[in-house]
Amino acid sequence: MVDKDAARTALRTFLGTRRARVDPESCGLVVGTRRRVTGLRREEVALLAGISAEYYVRLERGLATGPSPSVVDAVAGALRLGEDERAHLGRLLAELTPEARKRRRRPVTEVVSTGVQVVLDAMPTLPAVVQNARLDLLSTNALGRVLYAPLFDLEGGPNSARFLFLDEHRARRLFPQWEQLADDTVGLLRIEAGRHPDDQAIHELIGQLSTRSAPFRTRWARNDVRAHNAGVKLFAHHLVGELVLPYENLLVDAAADHTMTVFAPAPGSPAHDALQLLASWAAGRTTGAPGPG
């Protein structure tokens, strides 16, 4: 069953951090010299959204009953929320509905299906991995395992977030754009925590990272969110050097929140040629034949 207090806290914290980053003067508001509040006050958000201050306070505290889409859009506009943030706000509000409070999250498998594994293995020249929403690395094809090899040394199983923040030295070597990747990873976990405030596993992961990593704690406090979109990831592989790899994210099991990430550089590009070299090397390891130098 959804923890109502946890859902309200998540909503209040998110809206509070969004208010704090908006400059009142940029909204046309007159700011006095004795102002002590960073960003917008609650009543200022209400003014900009065209709703009563009392109603906005109730909304931020998670006490408003079923705000209409127009009200949510008005609040999002006043707070200058991006697309990912607007979607996150909608999910946080949805977790406070009577339907959500009665819902029990059904257990899901953390093993990929046979069909998904067949698809993975059918792409021998493209690295592909499957992760769940907590960023546990559930399965890979041969080339994906070569690309993500350092993650498999982690105690407790491979997980992208734990690798980034608890094995930071090696993570920075593998991912030259560590700072951006760290921001994106925390944003993904923030979305997952908002979608499933009753998921004990995500709370345990966040607790572990918060306790052991100052860079994670700093980012988590920002309350930023990121959707799991397509993009480009930079790797520094010890065998072939720097790889600039475009990737696509494909939802392969909606019930279990499993996403397949496929790295697909353009044919003829340096990254494509380097992957062919890696694929040849991986095949050589499997067969026992010597791979390329």
> Tens of pLDDT along 108-127?
668 899 999 999 999 999 99
How far is residue 144's CA from residue 139's CA, in Å, rounded to a whole number? 9
Residue 292 has pLDDT above 50, yes or no: no
Asked whether 206 and 189 are in contact (CB, 8 A), the reply is yes
Q: In whole numbers, what is the pLDDT of the chain averaged over residues?
A: 89
**Looking at residue 102, what is its pLDDT?**
62
Encode pLDDT of 131-159 as tens digits: 998 999 999 999 999 999 999 998 888 99
pLDDT of 245 strictly over 70: yes
How far apart, in whole angstroms, are the C-alpha atoms of residue 203 and residue 33? 41
**pLDDT tens digits, one per residue of 38-51:** 899 999 999 999 99
Report residue 35's pLDDT band, with 50, 70 and 90 as the boundaries. Answer: confident
C-alpha triplet 285, 286, 291: angle, nearest 5°:
30
Residue 254's pLDDT is what?
77
Percent of the chain topping pLDDT 70:
92
What pLDDT sits at residue 42? 95
pLDDT of 290 higher than 70: no
Q: pLDDT by residue (tens digit) across 2-12? A: 577 888 999 99
User: Is 20 or 34 the better-scoring residue by pLDDT?
Assistant: 20
- CA-CA distance, 9 to 4, in Å (whole number)? 9
| Residues across the chain | 293
Q: Is the pTM of this model over 0.95?
A: no
- For residue range 247-264, what is the model confidence (pLDDT) as tens digits? 999 999 877 889 999 999
Distance CA 164, CA 173 (A): 10
Biggest CA-to-CA distance, the chain: 75
The residue among 196 and 57 whose pLDDT is bigger is 57
Measured CA angle at 267 (ends 185, 258), to 5 deg: 35
Mean of pLDDT values over 188-214: 91
* pLDDT digits 0-9 by tens, 163-173: 999 999 999 99
Sheet holding 137-140, edge to edge: 137-140, 128-131, 258-263, 241-253, 231-237
Q: What is the pLDDT of residue 104?
A: 56
Instruction: Using pLDDT thresholds of 50, 70 and 90, give the confidence band for residue 288.
Output: very low
Q: Is the pLDDT of residue 73 over 90?
A: yes
Question: What is the set of domains in the chain, with CATH numbers?
Answer: 4-102 (1.10.260), 114-287 (3.30.450.180)
Residues 6+ apart with CB under 8 A from 160: 131, 135, 137, 151, 185
User: Has residue 289 got a pLDDT over 50?
Assistant: no
Backbone angles phi, psi at 175, to 5 degrees: -120, 95
pLDDT reading at 210 higher than 70 = yes
